[in-house]
Structure 1
Amino acid sequence: MALVTLADAKAQLNIADGDTSNDAELQGYIDAATAAVETQLGQVVDPRTVIDQLDFPQSVTSFLLRSVPVLSLTSLVSLDGSQSWTTTAPAMYVDGAAGCVTVLSGPPVKGSVLATYQAGLTSVPPNYRLAALIIVQHLWETQRGTLGTVMGGGDDSGYTAGRGFAIPRRAIELLGPQLPGVA
């Protein structure tokens, strides 16, 4: 399920469904808004396949995947293709929220491996969707010069310390506090 569809964006911007003259540009804004929401949240929202190359100089029975939440671990194969691991229960357990994979049976993981998995949310909370639509609208209006914002004014699209101009404050508030981590 996409965070925001082209039809959602057109409805937010009051563009007729039949008007396809700006579809490519709007899709670019949707993609940028999705990336901004995911960066702000520190997690994948729009479900997709992710491939991580992980390097383990020592044998490990537990490791972290880079993108969360993890929906399912599809495969775990050594980079040279000489070894693969069973990724389903009871051989492995995946803590989807944390992205932690634990080997419960079978050989430990060692060397350079490719982990292929599905990451994202199974359903998008309404506040995430609305935040993405607000970002799309903001990018659309600033591109067309229709916003008329004075920086530092009382309007909610002004600059927020520590943030850029691309994400309006109201969208940031809808997304909630940023998760702790390395910036």
Structure 2
Amino acid sequence: MPFDLGATVRLVGECRDPDGTLASAVTAVVTVTLPDETTVTPAVTEDPDTAGKYRADYVTTTPGRHSVRWVWTGPAAAYTDVFDVQEEAPPTILSLADARDHLNLVSTKDDGEVRFWNTATTRAVEYFVGPVVARSFTEEHHLRNARAVVLHRTPVLALTAVDSALTGAVAYNVDSLHVDRDTGEVVAVTGGRLAGRLRFTYRAGRTIIPANITAGARIILEHLWLTQRGNRGGLAGGGQDLSEPIPGLGYAVPNRAIQLLESDRLPPGVA
């Protein structure tokens, strides 16, 4: 499961000789490669009770995929792994408490799995209706004397910056631009034209989440939770209703969830 940003990840590696037997090494080094390709080498200690078992603690500082590379000498051995770090506020439609309550979970021992499937549920819902949880997006547009540009994700809450994608300098003052919340269309207030390779930074999502979207998220979460646990029984209040695969999602989303999301569904061809 992904780690929270700022959490400590305990890295564990086993040094084995060519026969596959655990063995103490002369040297042991673990290298963590961050998403930005920088590297760190946390201090390594050997388990005092079991020769050949090593560990290192790394405090996460950057969200994204990390790679881990263990290298031992005397005997020569190596091991590679990965782990993921969530962004500071991972977007989820349902709170952890709401998700746990809907799944009828009293204990918190499965919170890691619940959070994982809750995040996956949000991505599935947003596949159909666009951004729900408000967050920042950045995209580039190459414009040649254009009257308008249409941002990819709606509803747009605010346009925060328009910079040159080549130099990083401010290209347009956002106060001089008007953005249509529902369509994502950006035009100059004065009616002028837009030009250049521009990087648009904006926030999109919903300040109020309609009940049908929340209900759809609950159904999808329950379905994914029961499926990954090997439960082949029906969902609460109805059957699996998976008569047709969903483009891009297969059978991950029950049809009744899609029906709930239909009124907010993106037009065909809109990502």
- Contact residue 147 and residue 191 of structure 2 kept, 8 A: no
Following TM superposition, by how much is the alpha carbon of 1:26 offset from its aligned partner in structure 2, in angstroms?
1.2
Q: Percent identity?
A: 34
Residue 31 of structure 1 corresponds to 119
Q: CA RMSD in A?
A: 2.0
Per-residue CA deviation, residues 155-177 of structure 1 (Å, 9 max, x unaligned), is 53232324221111221111125
Give the 5 Å matches for 1:11-22: 11-16=101-106, 19-22=107-110
Following TM superposition, by how much is the alpha carbon of 1:28 offset from its aligned partner in structure 2, in angstroms?
1.4
Closer/same/farther in 2, CA of residues 116 and 92 from structure 1, 3 Å limit: same
2: CA distance between counterparts of 1:3 and 1:46?
Answer: 6
- Contact residue 158 and residue 165 of structure 1 kept, 8 A: no
Per-residue CA deviation, residues 55-106 of structure 1 (Å, 9 max, x unaligned), is 12x1223110010010000000111124421112xx2111010000011239
More strand by share: 2
The structure having more radius of gyration, on CA atoms, is 2
Following TM superposition, by how much is the alpha carbon of 1:116 offset from its aligned partner in structure 2, in angstroms?
0.5
Q: Tell me the matched-pair count.
A: 172
Residue 152 of structure 1 corresponds to none
One-letter amino acid of the structure 1 residue matched with residue 141 of structure 2: L
Residue 93 of structure 2 corresponds to 3
- Contact residue 76 and residue 87 of structure 1 kept, 8 A: yes
Residue 137 of structure 1 corresponds to 222
Residue 197 of structure 2 corresponds to 112
One-letter amino acid of the structure 1 residue matched with residue 240 of structure 2: S
Following TM superposition, by how much is the alpha carbon of 1:34 offset from its aligned partner in structure 2, in angstroms?
0.8
1: CA distance between counterparts of 2:186 and 2:243?
Answer: 37
Closer/same/farther in 2, CA of residues 74 and 83 from structure 1, 3 Å limit: closer
Residue 153 of structure 2 corresponds to 67
Give the TM-score normalised by the residue count of structure 1.
Answer: 0.85
**Higher RCO structure (Cα 8 Å, ≥6 apart):** 1
Which runs of no fewer than 5 residues in structure 1 stay unpaired? 150-154
Give the 5 Å matches for 1:70-89: 70-79=156-165, 80-88=167-175
Residue 53 of structure 1 corresponds to 140
2: CA distance between counterparts of 1:108 and 1:82?
Answer: 18
- Tell me the SS of whatever aligns to 1:176: helix
2: CA distance between counterparts of 1:168 and 1:156?
Answer: 9
- Tell me the SS of whatever aligns to 2:159: strand
- Tell me the SS of whatever aligns to 2:256: helix
Residue 262 of structure 2 corresponds to 176
Per-residue CA deviation, residues 1-48 of structure 1 (Å, 9 max, x unaligned), is 9521111110001112xx33222211111111111111122x211111
